[in-house]
Amino acid sequence: MSAGFIKKGRPEEKKSSLSKKNVSPVKNLVDDLMFFGDSAPSSEAFQEVEDESEERRNARLKHHLKTQERMAKALAEKTQRDLQSQNEQEEKHRLADTLNYDIKRWATGKEGNLRALLSSLQHVLWPECGWQPVSLTDLITSISVKKIYHKATLCVHPDKVQQKGATVRQKYIAEKVFDLLKEAWNKFNSEELR
């Protein structure tokens, strides 16, 4: 370079968001298919393409049929899950009145009293849950209350109950009891553990 001349670089060109590197393979496929048929193919009907080899047509048809099969299977599974969820919600609503009465009867006079709730938990839980009754004498120290509270939450945590394949009735009871225990724990934690 000679003196007096300064080589200026060109300002960096910003790559557009539609550069080939950033375009998704799906977008490229749709663009390619649009090139052959002027419009994006319907997900339902197989699109014929002019001047296409028989081998290519068969490959596309095979892919199309597999895609249709996967879509139908996924839709059937989703419909089944939705129906099961809806049935479960309806059953929860039917059971709510009687179960709410039982849970309120158990919790009456014990609201916020974690020791009383834990010592009488066996009266509201179902036998198969595995809860072992605890006496008030086992709940004297804060450490023992904390330990037994954690055992109880493992027994009635909605996710744990769900994993064990519980009935809708059991799930509903566990959810309500868990909320009452958590509320009582917060009160206990703020009053006795601080």
Task: Indicate which CATH number applies to the domain containing 180.
Answer: 1.10.287.110
Residue range 109-163, pLDDT digits in tens: 998 899 999 999 999 999 888 899 999 999 999 999 999 999 999 999 999 998 9
Longest dimension (CA), the chain: 96
128: domain range?
95-192
Residue 84 inside a domain? The answer is no
- The alpha carbon torsion through 157, 161, 164, 169 (nearest 10 deg) reads 170
Q: Are 117 and 107 in contact (CB under 8 A)?
A: yes
Residue 158 inside a domain? The answer is yes
Q: Provide the 3-class DSSP secondary structure of residue 45.
A: coil
Residue 82 inside a domain? The answer is no
Residue 148 inside a domain? The answer is yes
Q: How many domains does the chain have?
A: 1
Distances (CA, A) of 194 to 38, 111, 112, 176, 182: 71, 20, 17, 27, 17
Residue 66 inside a domain? The answer is no
Residue 111 inside a domain? The answer is yes
Residue 142 inside a domain? The answer is yes
Percent of the chain whose predicted confidence (pLDDT) is above 90? 51
